[in-house]
Amino acid sequence: MISSKAASFTESIIRDMTRLANAHGAINLAQGFPDFPAPEVIKRAAIEAIERDINQYAVTWGTKGFRDAIAARAAKRYGMVIDPDTQVTVTCGATEAMIAAQMAIVDPGDEVIVFEPFYENYGPDAILSGATPRFVTLHEPDWSFDPAELAAAFNDRTKAIIINTPNNPTGKVFTRAELDAIAELCIRWGAIAITDEIYDEMTYDGIEHVPMLSIPGMEDRTILINGMSKTYAVTGWRVGWTFASPEVTGAIRKVHDFLTVGAPAPMQEAGVVALELPDSYYDELRAAYTERRDVMLEALQRVGFSVQAPAGAYYLMCDSTPLGLPESREAARILTADAGVACVPGAAFYRDPADGASKLRFSFCKRVPTLTDARDRLLTWRG
Ligand code: PLP
């Protein structure tokens, strides 16, 4: 009854862990959503938009006001010159942006390079868009790639490379030198960089996020993806966007139109308010996330995991070898059921689950008391 495409991937392990967490009443450090409220002004703006009857379809590729606000923020933050009328598409989250971007550019037989470990969605995205994924390893301990391995992955079938920086699950933030090296290969092989920058405001210890779109020569061969979910703690609102050349934007807009028609109209009104928040909002965000990261890092080290401080995003990728835990899916199940703390098995981030067998990912996008509660539960479990 079902298509070979649908049969060839499993349900999301991350969302599955959320269901398991709920079933056991566990603290959910699996799926990456905050347990604290969104900024009050944004919530008020969404409520007011509904009260003003902004309840019908918005312009397919995003309201003019929201696209203008997104482009203005990119200009202020990165000095980017983006035309909101021809280069911005508002989507139902970065999730839709990624599949729409791939469906807009991929033909059967095209290859898309994906760094491994990778955010779970990229596997099914490639299958659904008809791309053949080619994986390039991010090597521990610093999750760097081997330039020779990357160069060997490019060929004349390479259509795109997906770069997620700051990175889920590793916390890696790609350096300018790394992006330069990737850009050179993209230009040499005529490939497009699709960059998932949903965590761009979450970098730590003074580390800077560099958008691929700002690398010379990449202006017309980058699809930048971002969204409101993480930066404004509104993962349930489903608002994201793409920046791309006018030609590629035209294709993305068509795909987006027939996938979803448009993103939620009242949330786009609130998005204008969000994107106009002062710099202090982002400074406070970074300070709060740095504290959460440090609390959870110390907690997991005390429990006995081998884990390093991530440079960005809001996850800690741990190695459970020192604790002698079983394979990651069983380990995550035990921690959820017995310790009352849910995490994501490393298997979710690798094509061959065996490569993630000793890994567990904990998210720290929670209030500090939630994190210290998780710490205490894990220490009690370990005994
Ligand atoms: N991209 C990455 C790397 C993520 O980690 C997530 C959520 O965890 C998303 C995209 C989803 O973003 P959105 O809520 O905008 O669809």
Give the residue-averaged pLDDT of 196-212.
Answer: 98
Using a 6 Å cutoff on CB, does residue 102 contact ligand 1? no
Instruction: Return the pLDDT at 11.
Output: 85
Residue 68 pLDDT class (50, 70, 90 cuts): very high
pLDDT of residue 280: 98
7 alpha carbon to ligand 1 midpoint, in Å? 23
Amino acid at residue number 200:
D
Best of 18, 90, 230 to mutate for ligand 1, by most ligand atoms within 8 A of CB? 230
* CB burial of residue 184 (10 Å; 0-12, 13-18, 19+): middle
Do residues 65 and 269 make contact, with C-beta atoms less than 8 angstroms apart? yes
Q: What pLDDT, on a 0 to 100 scale, did the predictor assign at position 85?
A: 98
Q: Where are the alpha helices (DSSP H) in the chain?
A: 4-7, 13-24, 40-51, 64-78, 93-105, 122-129, 147-153, 176-189, 246-260, 265-275, 279-303, 328-334, 368-382
CB of 242 shorter than 6 A to ligand 1: no
Residue 43, pLDDT > 90, answer yes
Q: Measured in angstroms, how far is the CA atom of residue 6 from the centroid of ligand 1?
A: 21
Res 8: pLDDT: 87
| Ligand 1 atom at minimum distance from 97 CA | 16
Which ligand 1 atom is at minimum distance from the Cα of 167? 3
- CATH top-level class for 40-275? alpha beta
94 CA to centre of ligand 1 in angstroms: 6
Residue of 14, 95, 267 best suited for mutating to test ligand 1, as the one with most atoms within 8 Å of CB = 95
Q: pLDDT category, 157, cuts 50, 70, 90? A: very high
Atom of ligand 1 nearest to the CA of 228: 15
Residue 226 beta carbon below 6 angstroms from any ligand 1 atom: no
CA 227 – ligand 1 centroid, Å: 8
pLDDT score for 268: 98
pLDDT beyond 90 at 269: yes
User: Does the C-beta of 239 come closer than 6 Å to ligand 1?
Assistant: no
The pLDDT tens digits of the residues spanning 277-287 come to 999 999 999 99
Mean pLDDT, residues 310-321: 97
CATH 3.40.640.10 location in the chain: 40-275
Mean of the per-residue pLDDT values of the chain: 97
How far apart CA 172 and CA 142 sit, in angstroms, is 7
- Please work out, in degrees rounded to the nearest 5, the angle formed at the alpha carbon of residue 166 by the alpha carbons of 361 and 20: 25
Distance CA 363, CA 33 (A): 8
- State the CATH class of domain 4-38+280-382: alpha beta
Structure confidence at residue 88 (pLDDT): 98
Given pLDDT bands bounded at 50, 70 and 90, which one contains residue 7?
A: very high
**pLDDT grade for 246, boundaries at 50, 70 and 90:** very high
Percent of the chain beyond pLDDT 90? 95
Instruction: Answer whether 168 contacts ligand 1 (Cβ < 6 A).
Output: yes
Give 93-141 pLDDT, tens digit per residue: 999 999 999 999 999 899 999 999 999 899 889 989 999 999 999 999 9
| pLDDT, mean of residues 70-83 | 98
Q: Give residue 151's pLDDT.
A: 98
Q: Tell me the pLDDT tens digit for each residue of 279-309.
A: 999 999 999 999 999 999 999 999 999 999 9
Structure confidence at residue 29 (pLDDT): 97
Is the Cβ atom of 164 under 6 angstroms away from ligand 1? yes
pLDDT for res 12:
87
Could you tell me the pLDDT band of residue 40, with boundaries at 50, 70 and 90? very high
Instruction: Tell me which residue has its CA closest to atom 8 in ligand 1.
Output: 32
Q: What is the sign of the dihedral through the CA atoms of 208, 214, 218 and 220?
A: positive
Chain region(s) in the chain for CATH 3.90.1150.10: 4-38+280-382
Q: Can you give the pTM of this predicted structure?
A: 0.97
